[in-house]
Chain A
């Protein structure tokens, strides 16, 4: 239990609370931490498309990559010197779906995620990651306020 903990960060304050909580949990259980952030790519153009599109795509994705790296960078600043073994992952796509994929890939046993506190209906309508994870995940989910 709590040997491999997945924590989702997006640079918001709530996600840092989740990160700190995950750090404390990992210290207790001597577990491994996987920090993931997922950015939605604006341009959904496949690699096979015209060369002009490719250029546009990299440009658009560059912005997304920058945002993602910024979130991971600030997480790294928190984690530096904590002595926990950490992996950083940057994914593209819907955070909830990517989190589920990462869980399978790394065989995580717990997910820690921050919450915006929207409530059920608002949560569904505004694409809440925590609401989705609570519904769909097959492993325990810890929701931090």
Chain B
């Protein structure tokens, strides 16, 4: 039923909780997991410095700590976490010993559209993702990625909180 699970991460602690959830589910079904990170270009606050290929260890520890306490990251930590999202995901997968896992980075300025598009071309059976935690109205007005994905995805969507 779940041969291929697409996990969308953005570097936030909640998105790594989504990854944990997907790995738990995937272990039960023996499924392949594809971790997708959509990088938004021209967003200077999220600019990825390619010299920073190696992830700083302290940010990894911080993300792990804050995922359990559900604390918010500071702005500085946020941009570091965003840039190193895939690195953190790789570490997490290695720690969990998950073998059938792939990592993919796509650059696009419309994350929701990209996630849905990737889900359909990769023939994913489910999309797992976190949510920004915006309220009902602000999500509608600002445009929440998870909300858009839920309404236009070709497959079941699992929103982790």
Query: Residues of A with Cβ closer than 8 Å to B?
Result: 1-2, 21, 24, 28-29, 115, 117-121, 123-124, 130-132, 134-135, 137-145
Q: B25–A2 contact, CB under 8 A?
A: yes
Stretch at the interface among B43-51, B52-60, B153-161: B153-161
Q: Does B140 contact A (CB under 8 A)?
A: yes
Q: Does B40 contact A (CB under 8 A)?
A: no
- 29 A-B contacts, Cβ less than 8 Å apart? A1-B21, A2-B24, A2-B25, A2-B28, A21-B156, A24-B1, A28-B28, A28-B29, A115-B150, A118-B151, A119-B151, A119-B152, A120-B147, A120-B148, A124-B136, A124-B140, A131-B150, A134-B147, A134-B150, A134-B159, A135-B136, A138-B161, A140-B158, A140-B160, A141-B158, A142-B156, A142-B158, A142-B159, A143-B156
Write the B125-161 contact mask toward A (1 if CB under 8 angstroms, else 0). 0100001000111011001101110111111111111
> For the complex, what is the distance from the CA of A130 to the CA of B156, rounded to whole Å?
12
Contact of A130 among B131, B137, B150 (CB under 8 A): B150
B side interface size, CB within 8 A: 30
Nearest 10 A/B pairs, CB to CB: A119-B151, A140-B160, A142-B158, A141-B159, A120-B147, A1-B24, A143-B157, A144-B156, A28-B28, A24-B1
